[in-house]
Amino acid sequence: MKRNELKRKLQRGEVVLGPFMNCSYPAFIEIVGLAGFDFAIIDMEHGPLEVETAEDLCRAGQGAGLDPIVRVRKNDAPQIQRALDIGSAGVQVPQIETREQAEAVVRAAKYQPIGMRGISLFTRSGDYSVYGLSGITDRLNEEQMIVIHIEGVRGLENLEQIITVPHIDVIFLGPYDLSQSFGVPGQIDDPRVINGMRMAVGKIRDAGKAAGTYANDVETAKRWIDAGVQYISLSVDVGIFATACRNLLAPFRSSGS
C-alpha cells in the first residue's frame, strides 16, 4: 500500500481537488493525475464501473501521482471491503443519515482493533503478500481513508452526532441530493441548500474534520473553498470532455462554418 499523500494534505489543512470518474478507459484517470489533480473519485454509484475496472483505474491513477477514492453504491460492508481491497486510497460512502450508519462504515472499512473488515491480504491493498503480512492491517488502517456523504435533511439534522464518530476523514456534502431532499431538485443555489451546507461546513470544521463537496465549475469551487471546504470534487470526466468538445466546436458553429 502506497503512502496516502491525499490524507496528509488534508491533515495539513490544504485544499485538494479531484473529479469524479465515470469512464473505464485508464488513460482518462492517468491524464487527470498527470494534469496535477490530487485525487479522483472512481464512481461505482452513478457510473457504470465494476470492481475489476475500478482496480485498473486505481493502478493508472496512482501511477500518475494521484490518490484514487472509490465511491460505492451504498453503505454495504462487502462493497466497502472490495473498494479498499483493490488498493484504493479510500472509500466514499453515500447517503449517511445517522451516527449508527456512520459507525457501520467504520466497522466495514477498518480492521481490528477499530473495525471488523474481513481479512484477505492476498489482494492489491496487501501487495499480494509479497512483502509479508506483519503489521499490514495497522498500516492499512492508517493509510486508507473514509469519506461519508451527507446528502439529505435527516443527515443534516443528525450531523452533530455523526461528526463525533472517529476515523472518518471527510464529510462530503452532496448539493444535488440535498436539493432534492429540500424539495427543490437540481436547484443547488436555493437558499435552503446553501444555508444548510454552510451550517454543516462550520460544524464539520469545528469538530476537526475535513468538509467536502461537489462543484461543477471554478466559481462554485472557489466559493466553497472560501467557506472552509477542503475536499473539492471538481466536475466529472465526461462533463469535462463534453465542455471541451463544445468549446472546440463553438467558433466554427457560430461563424456558420
**In the chain, % of residues over pLDDT 70:** 99
Most confident of the ranges 44-48, 69-73, 121-125: 69-73
Contact 212, 219 (CB under 8 A): no
DSSP state of 128: G
**pLDDT single digits (tens) 15-24:** 999 999 999 9
Contact 167, 208 (CB under 8 A): no
Q: Is 164 left (phi over 0), alpha (psi -120 to 50) or beta?
A: alpha
Which CATH fold would you assign to the domain 5-254? TIM Barrel (3.20.20)
Residue 37 amino acid letter: F
Position 257 pLDDT exceeds 60: no
**pLDDT single digits (tens) 165-215:** 999 999 999 999 999 999 999 999 999 999 999 999 999 999 999 999 999
Contact 130, 92 (CB under 8 A): no
Give residue 253's pLDDT.
86
Alpha-helix residue ranges (DSSP H) falling in the chain? 5-11, 26-35, 51-63, 77-85, 99-109, 136-143, 153-157, 159-162, 175-181, 191-206, 218-226, 237-254
> Quick one: which of 134, 155, 172 has its CA closest to 39?
172
Question: What average pLDDT score do residues 91-95 get?
Answer: 97
Active-site annotation holds for 46: yes
Say which of 2, 3, 8, 46 is annotated catalytic: 46
Query: In angstroms, rounded to a whole number, what is the distance separating the alpha carbons of residues 192 and 179?
Result: 8
Query: In angstroms, rounded to a whole number, what is the distance separating the alpha carbons of residues 141 and 117?
Result: 10
> How many other CB atoms are found less than 10 A from the CB of residue 123?
18
C-alpha cell at position 167: 476515523
**pLDDT single digits (tens) 73-89:** 999 999 999 999 999 99
